[in-house]
Amino acid sequence: MNAPQLTQCDSRDEPVNENTVPSNHSSSHAARDSSPSSEGERPPLPPRPSTLSLLNDESASRATRQAGPTTAVSRTDIDTQTNEVPGSAYPSLAIRGISQGLKAKASLGHLTSSRGSEAGDTASIRSSVQNGDVGDVDALFKDFVASAPEGHLESTGLLHFPEFPADNVDDDEFLTEFDPVGEIDEDAGNEDLLLERFKAKKKHYLILSAAGKPIWTRHGDGGLISTYVGIIQTIISFYEESEDQLKSFSAGDTKFVIVTHGPLHLVAISRMMESETQLRLQLEALYMQILSTLTLPSLSHLFSIRPSTDLKRPLQGSETLLSSLADSFTRGSPSTLLSALECLKIRKQHRQSINNALLKTKASNLLYGLVVAGGRLVSVVRPKKHSLHPGDLQLLFNMVFEADGVKAGGGESWIPICLPGFNSSGYLYMYVSFLDLRGEVDENEDISKDESVAIVLISPDKESFFEMQGMRDAFVDQMEKNGSLKVIRAAIDQGRPATTDIVPGSVLHHFLYKSRANVQFTMSSFAPTFNSIVRRRRLMSIYNNLHASIHAKNTHVKVHHCVSRSASSFAWVTPVFEFYCVAEPNANRNALVQSATKIAQWVQHEEERLFIIGGAVF
């Protein structure tokens, strides 16, 4: 594979414009190199008819590629996918490809299109592309071919190179993303330094009220960034005044996405190549967290009596929940990406006996009962007429496992919580207790986070703490007796399987499999390839892009294969499941598809162990 040289698309100083960095590496060959060429002095090549010489690189493997019945891959599918590149990178490429001179126009057009319309800027521009600018596209591909001089450095290991410039950081550097910006001195002498640190962050979240009051920001405090909040507020209200709604815009490689819910504006600012849809989902989750703290009626009430209400105070203490949620997005969360839950893999019969223990010990005031091992669901008990919403569980897991407020207390907790998916208008009460499966203290905190097992019992009755405590004691007793605790412990120790455990010799290094009907997913272990936080982030970037590509509007892509210098990746969507996987950059496509097929078969075979189907219902 002619792996293109990864280039710095350092175009942040440009005026507002479409993404300069390809956010979609399905177009990777073209994108990666056309983009710098358009930045450079050299005028872009004129459109010309083409044989898509780029694809010649792939033609060999293409020819041998198995369009096999196993994956229901047809050649047309792949071709379609290759040409019909979804995502925002495409239009920006087209614009650049046409002419530098069009830039100003493009950005204007971009601005106008980004206000209002459902589809947003990308869609509108894309539609024009789809209307037959094939020549330009070809030009781009040509462009790439012409300008891919140092494409072949040595062949690389999987994700040794970041797929995207935003991921081009080492572990320490990435970890600084989560460091506090710091506080302003009394004489504000360090303001410049702090602002520099603030601007160095790759990702920002801001929540402000419609009246312009900052409510929460992930980085920096209100004083430091008030000017930025003011600017955003001005931009948003500019559109509001004309009865319009600003949804997103881009500046250089930075994407701004705005979600408005009643009196709140939530803003995500990302240089991490996430799609608008993905950022929107993240903002929705933050909004859910606010509802979970306050409930919808009290939020509306606060603002209806005083539109200038300062929400900081009512939210006091929940900032850490917002932050840990935001950080899990920044680190990359398969659960959020797929809007699905992960379960602990145990035998069906073992799960059954845990379910039975839950049912047997069920307290009369119980609404939901959960056993959760490090963010993986082990068992659920619920009323017949109420299912659990993945969004609610995400908040709950974030609170229990990610934010330290609950666990560090060391005792049992009793927490009023609103589960907006269940009912956004009132509180439920959540009993949380951690099981000590080890006896001894773990030396590594990360491990213990993955290994801690929580019993979560949710009741509508705020006085039922001791009832829940009694249930917990009886339930744990039962699990002790029937060996379930040992089973859980063994399953945690075993961890997630490596791809090679499932398919010996597989070329795949990691996969995600989402069962659509169960709204659950499973994945292979991150070790050994993705142990470091940065590698994991890069992996998630690849998944983000696969996901964005395959879910792009107006496309009906079923199979999607991308190759870049650092990885080859593959997505496959059927009515039953969504499958995403990653392999070495030079992985044989045949082998890749075969492994994917085998893993999908394995998952379906192990379905009742990997997923909770039905669960305990009363």
Partner 1 sequence: MSESAGANGPKPSSSVKLVLLGEAAVGKSSLVLRFVNNDFQENKEPTIGAAFLTQKCALPTRTIKFEIWDTAGQERFASLAPMYYRNAQAALVVYDVTKPSSLTKAKHWVAELQRQASPGIVIALVGNKLDLTNDGGDTSAAPETETESAGPDGDEAAGEEGEEQDATPGDARKVSTREASGYADEEGLLFFETSAKTGTNVVDVFTAIANAIPESSLKTGRGAAGAGGQNTLGGRSGDDSRVNLGDRNAATAKEGCAC
Do 378 and 488 touch, CB atoms closer than 8 A?
yes
Would you tell me how many other CB atoms lie within 10 Å of the CB of residue 313? 8
Q: Least distance from C-beta 224 to partner 1, angstroms?
A: 20
Q: Write the interaction track for partner 1 spanning residues 422-451; mark x where CB under 8 A is met and - where it is not.
A: --------x---------------------
Task: Tell the residue number behind the tokens 């072949």, with chain if given.
Answer: 152
- Of 190, 469, 518, 590, the one binding partner 1 (CB under 8 A) is 469
Stretch that binds partner 1, among 7-15, 85-93, 194-202, 415-423 (CB under 8 A): 415-423
Determine, following the binding rule CB under 8 A, whether residue 415 of this chain makes contact with partner 1.
yes
Do 136 and 50 touch, CB atoms closer than 8 A?
no
Residue 617's identity, in one-letter code, is: V
> Which candidate, 352, 350, 357, places its Cα nearest to that of 457?
357
Task: Tell the residue number behind the tokens 């062949």, with chain if given.
Answer: 155
Site for partner 1 in 348-387 (CB under 8 A): none
Is 429 or 513 the residue whose CB approaches partner 1 more closely? 429
Determine, following the binding rule CB under 8 A, whether residue 603 of this chain makes contact with partner 1.
no
Would you tell me how many other CB atoms lie within 10 Å of the CB of residue 528? 8
Total residues in contact with partner 1, by rule CB under 8 A? 30
- Of 159, 272, 281, 403, the one binding partner 1 (CB under 8 A) is 403
Distance between CA atoms of residues 198 and 513, nearest Å: 36
Determine, following the binding rule CB under 8 A, whether residue 411 of this chain makes contact with partner 1.
yes
Stretch that binds partner 1, among 10-18, 96-104, 158-166, 458-466 (CB under 8 A): 458-466
Q: Write the interaction track for partner 1 spanning residues 320-349; mark x where CB under 8 A is met and - where it is not.
A: xx----------------------------
Would you tell me how many other CB atoms lie within 10 Å of the CB of residue 69? 9
> Which candidate, 393, 405, 418, 397, places its Cα nearest to that of 317?
405
Rg (alpha carbons) of the chain, rounded to whole number: 25
- Of 414, 422, 526, 602, the one binding partner 1 (CB under 8 A) is 414
Is 22 or 420 the residue whose CB approaches partner 1 more closely? 420
> Which candidate, 86, 31, 93, 120, places its Cα nearest to that of 546?
86
Is 180 or 262 the residue whose CB approaches partner 1 more closely? 180
Determine, following the binding rule CB under 8 A, whether residue 405 of this chain makes contact with partner 1.
yes
Determine, following the binding rule CB under 8 A, whether residue 182 of this chain makes contact with partner 1.
no
Strand, coil or helix: 275: coil
Determine, following the binding rule CB under 8 A, whether residue 296 of this chain makes contact with partner 1.
no
Q: Least distance from C-beta 216 to partner 1, angstroms?
A: 14
Task: Tell the residue number behind the tokens 């908040």, with chain if given.
Answer: 395
Distance between CA atoms of residues 246 and 392, nearest Å: 27
Stretch that binds partner 1, among 25-33, 41-49, 125-133, 410-418 (CB under 8 A): 410-418
Do 347 and 381 touch, CB atoms closer than 8 A?
no
Determine, following the binding rule CB under 8 A, whether residue 313 of this chain makes contact with partner 1.
yes
Phi-psi sector, 358: left (phi>0), alpha (psi -120 to 50), beta: alpha
Residues near partner 1 (CB under 8 A) are 293-294, 313-314, 316-318, 320-321, 399, 403-406, 408-417, 430, 462-463, 465-466, 469
